Amino acid sequence: MGRDEKKPRRSLHGLWSDVDDRQNSVIESPLDGEIRQLVANLGKELLTGREIVAAGLTGGWEGKGITDSVEWLANQRRKRRDKFD
């Protein structure tokens, strides 16, 4: 890219930023390794988005038969109070 040429700009949620090569690379946070270790200590494995969908681990309230989230939450709280009373 020449000195006088402007770099393309990218908008993300209304914020503009210059596009550069760093945006195309994977940047790993120091916490990523710690998170992987914690998950491994629990005997679990991190899943990619594709693996989560393939395993059927998506869905919301409807998939659990919950039609009214407020009522469901009130019932959960009542059950918890009853359990400890």
Q: Note the pLDDT tens digit of each residue in 48-82.
A: 888 888 988 887 777 778 888 899 999 999 999 99
Number of structural domains found in the chain: 1
Q: Note the pLDDT tens digit of each residue in 12-61.
A: 555 555 555 555 556 667 788 888 888 888 888 888 888 888 988 887 77
Range of the domain at 48: 30-84
Identity (one letter) of the amino acid at 53? V
**Exposure letters 20-53 (e unless 16+ CB within 10 A, then b):** eeeeeeeeeeeeeeeeeeeeeeeeeeeeeeeeee
Instruction: Give percent of the chain above pLDDT 90.
Output: 15
46 domain-assigned: yes
1 domain-assigned: no
